[in-house]
A and B are shown apart, each in its own frame.
Chain A
Amino acid sequence: MAGSALRRLMAEYKQLTLNPPEGIIAGPINEENFFEWEALITGPEGTCFEGGVFPAKLIFPCDYPLSPPKMQFTCEMFHPNIYSDGRVCISILHAPGDDPMGYESSAERWSPVQSVEKILLSVVSMLAEPNDESGANVDAAKMWRENREEFNKIADRIVRKTLGIYIRE
C-alpha cells in the first residue's frame, strides 16, 4: 500500500519541482520520510496576508491518495479557517466519509484526483477569502466580520513575523 502512495508522492514532488505554482514550494522535509512534507505558501497579493511566507506541514496517510493528508501551519496564524494550533479547516482536506462540521456536500471534499498542488492553491484562496461560516477560529471569524482593521493589523504582524522583520516604522 505504501508503495503506490510513495510513487504517487514522488510524482507529485517532481511535478511541483518542475512546474511550481507561483509562490508555492512543497517537498518532503526529509528524504527518509516521504510522508511528511513542508510547504511554503506566499500570501496572495491584494489581501491582508500579502507578502508573507507561511510554512506548513503536510502529513500524508499511508493510503494516500485515497485519504487526504493533514495540513497544519507551523507559524502563528490568525484566520477564521485555521485552528489556533495551525490545523487547516477546508473541505478539500476532509475525507468523503467523515464530516466534522456536518454541512459539506461530498462534491467539494477529498478525492484521489486532488493533489498537493490543488490543496495548496485552495489554501491560498482560503487565505484570500476566509469563509467565516466554518469557524475553526471563532475569534478570528468574529474579528474578520466586525473589525477588519484590527484583523489586518494582526495579519500584518504575522506576515512580518514569518519574514523575520520586526522593525516598526
Chain B
Amino acid sequence: MPIIVLERLPLPNLKTYTGASVLALSACIYYATHIVKDPDWNKPKSDLDVSPSNNEDFINNNTNHSSPDDRTFSQFTGDTFSVMTKEPICVWIMINMAYCWLILIGRCVQKFVFGQLRVSEQQHLEEKFWNFVFYKFIFVFGVINVQYLEEVLLWCSWFSLLGFLHLLSQLGKDRFEYLSFSPTTPAWSHVKLLGLLGCIFVFSLFMFLISIFVGFFQGLNTFAFMSAEVILLGIRTLHVIVRYALHLYDICRDTNGSLSRDTATALEKRGPVIYYIELGFELNALIIDFVHHMHMLLWSNIFLSMASLVICMQLRYLFHEMQRRWKKHRNYLWVLNHMEQNYPMASAEEIAANSDNCAICWEKMETARKLPCSHLFHTMCLQSWLEQDKSCPTCRLALNIESPSDNRPESPEIQHNAPQPARRPLNHFFHFDGSRYVSWLPSFSVEVSQLPRLSRAPNSQLDAMARQVQQLFPHYLLPTIIEDLRVTRSVELTIENILDGRLNSQTLRESETISTTSSNVPLSILQSNVEQPDTSSSQNWDDINEENVENEDGIAVGSRFSKSPSEREQILHKRKEKLIQTARKRYVDKQRTPIST
C-alpha cells in the first residue's frame, strides 16, 4: 500500500493528509456552490471526461453538503459538479481525494485482514509498488505516448486501481505463505484472507469485463494493453487461492489423522496433478507477461528509446524465467521417467520388513520405491530429491543418472593426440579462464596428453585430468577428484587442495582398481597427515553419538510433547531456563572447587 511509502518519505501522516484533502475538497465545493448560486451562471454542456473515481467523491460530497434551494437538489449538485470539473484546481483536488479514499480503503483492509504487517511484507509491498509505478509510467508516457490530459487521467486511474489490487494480492500471497508456516492458525484468519483473495479475483473479473467493453470501442490494442495486467492479476490471485485450498485440504487431512491405504495411494497420484497445476499457473503468467511486453515493444515503434531499453530488459528477464521453468520441467519429466524405469515399487513384504518411516518426510510408507541400494522412499519424496541430487539420501550411493541438464557443455574440448616418444607422466596443460577478465568470455583448457588408455576410455578432459591426479594420490576416489577438478579446472590446484587436506580422502572402491602400480609414492607421509584429522573427527562424532544415546533415558523422564501450542511453548521455555541455570550452577561450582582446595 502506498501508505507505507508515504510513511517513509517526509510526508504528513495519514490523518493530516486526509484532513487536508477533505478541507481542500470542501473549499472547492464551497467555491463551486458560490459560482452556481450566482444567477449569471450559465451552463454550456460540454462532456469533459473525468476519471471514474471522481464519481465516488462526488457521491460522498453530496452527503456532507447542503445548499439553499432555488433549483431541485439533484440539479444543483449536477451544476456544482460540472463547475468543479471545469476548474483545473478542483479537478486536481478531486483526484487527490480519490487517492485519499484508495489509501483509506487500503488501510481498512489492512487493519481488518492483515493486522500489523511484517517487515518482509512491507518490503515486498514497497518494492512492488515502486516497480509498478515505474513500469506504468514508462507504459503511459513511453509506450502509448498519450497526448491529452484526459487520457492520462484515465490511464492513471485504471492503473491506480489495478496496482492497488496487485498490491493487495501480493500481500495476500505473502501472508498465506507465512500462515502456512504455522501448524496452528485460527480458522478465522484463513476465512478473512481467502475472502479478500476471492474479492480480488472477482474484482479482476469485473475489470476484465470493463477492458472488453472499452476495447470494443477503442480497438484491439487498447483491449490487449488493458486486459494483460488484469489477466495477470487474476491468474496470480487464483494461483494463491488454489494453493491455499490445497494447503487447507492438507491440514484437514492431518487433523483427521490415520491414513488408509487408499488415501495414501490417492496422495501419490495427487502429486503430479498439483505439480501440473503449479506449472500451468506459472508458465501462463510468464507467457502472458512476455507477450504483453512484446506487444508493447512492437506496437509503439519505440525501438530507440529508454522505454524500449527498459522493456527489453524486462523481456530478457521474463525469457530467462521461462527458460528456467522449462528446464526444471524437463528435469522433472526425466527424473519421473528414470524412476519408473529403474526403481521398482517395493513389494508389500519389503515394506513390512522395513519398519522405518520414509527417511525424507518421516512418515509411514504405504507405498514406496526401492533404490538399487535397497533403501525405500515415498515416490514423491524421492522424486523431489532426485530432481536436485543424484544420490541415495541415506547411503549416498551415486545413482547412475545422467540427466539432460547434466551434460552441460564442459569447457570446449580440444584434444591433440600428438604422438610423443616417451611416456611422460606430465602433460602440457593450458588453461584459460575467460570469465576472470570479462564475464562473457568462455573458459577452456587445452591439453596435450598422452595417457595410457585405461579400461574405460576417458571421454573428457576432466576424466583425463582426474586420472592424472589419481596417479599421484591413489587412495582418492575418482569422482571426488573430478568434483574438485570441476571447480579448480587445473591439475595443480587440485593437487594443492589434496595436499592441504581439503579433499575428503576415501579408500578406493573395488570397482576402481586402476593401474596404481606405476605411481611412485613419495607422498605417503603427507597422505597420512591428510587422513588423520578426518578419521579423528569422525571418531569423535561417534563418541558423542554414543554418549547421547546413553544419556537419553535420563533426560527423557518428565519431558513430554504437549498437544496445545501454548503449553508446548511454555514447556520449551522452562526447559531452556533450566538448562541455563544448571549450566550456570555447574560452572560456578567448578570455579569454586579449585579455590577451596
Contacts and interface: CB of A to CB of B under 8 A. Distances in A.
Interface in A1-46: 2-4, 6-8, 10-14, 17-23, 25, 27, 30-35, 38, 40, 42, 44
B540 A31 contact: no
Nearest to A159: B587
A22 B548 contact: yes
A122 B587 contact: no
B502 A133 contact: yes
B590 A113 contact: no
Given A21-B548, A124-B544, A3 B182 contact: no
A17 B504 contact: no
Interface string B217-241: 0000000000000000000000000
Nearest to B501: A133
Given A66-B388, A133-B502, A22 B182 contact: no
A113 B559 contact: no
A31 B180 contact: no
Nearest to A122: B541
B501 A121 contact: no
A103 B177 CA distance: 35
A112 B548 contact: no
A111 interface: yes
5 contacts: A14-B561, A22-B548, A104-B504, A112-B381, A113-B394
B402 interface: no
A4 B361 contact: yes
A158 interface: no
Given A112-B385, A131-B537, A51 B488 contact: no
Contacts of A14: 561
A103 B385 contact: no
A66 B488 contact: no
Contacts of A2: 177, 180-181, 247
B100 interface: no
Contacts of B571: 17
A129 interface: yes
Interface residues of B, number: 73
B360 A125 contact: no
Contacts of A160: 587
A34 B177 contact: no
Interface string B438-462: 0000000000000000000000000
Contacts of A96: 388-389, 391
Interface of B: 177-178, 180-185, 247, 250-251, 254, 359-363, 381, 384-385, 388-389, 391, 393-394, 396, 480, 483-484, 487-488, 497, 500-504, 506, 533, 536-537, 540-541, 544-545, 547-548, 551-552, 554-556, 559-561, 565-566, 568-569, 571-572, 575-576, 579-580, 583-584, 586-588, 590-591, 595
List 9 A-B pairs, minimum CB-CB distance, nearest first.
A103-B502, A31-B565, A105-B504, A3-B250, A21-B548, A112-B360, A22-B551, A2-B180, A27-B572
Given A6-B180, A112-B359, A125-B537, A20 B559 contact: yes
Contacts of A128: 540, 544
Nearest to B254: A7
> What is the interface of chain B mostly: helix, strand, loop, or mixed?
helix
A135 to B, nearest CB: 11
Given A62-B177, A121-B544, A125-B544, A40 B579 contact: yes
Given A33-B178, A51-B590, A106-B396, 19 more contacts: A3-B250, A7-B254, A17-B560, A20-B559, A22-B555, A31-B183, A33-B181, A35-B181, A53-B583, A96-B388, A103-B502, A103-B503, A105-B483, A107-B504, A111-B394, A113-B394, A124-B544, A133-B502, A169-B591
Which of B487, B497, B545, B548 neighbours the largest number of chain A CB atoms within 10 Å of its CB? B548
B534 to A, nearest CB: 10
Contact of B559 (A17, A103, A164): A17
Contacts of A30: 569
Contacts of A124: 544
A156 to B, nearest CB: 10
B500 A163 contact: no
A4 B177 CA distance: 14
B572 A25 contact: yes
B587 A165 contact: yes
Interface in A50-85: 51-53, 62-63, 65-66
A160 B545 CA distance: 26
A99 interface: yes
Contact of B576 (A25, A65, A111): A25
A102 B487 contact: yes
Contacts of A63: 384
Nearest to A42: B583
A139 interface: no
Contacts of A18: 556, 559-561
A33 B500 contact: no
A34 B506 CA distance: 38
A150 interface: no
A3 B556 CA distance: 28
Contacts of A25: 572, 575-576, 579
Given A4-B361, A53-B580, A31 B388 contact: no
Contacts of B385: 66, 112
Given A18-B560, A20-B555, A99-B487, A6 B541 contact: no
Contacts of B503: 103, 105
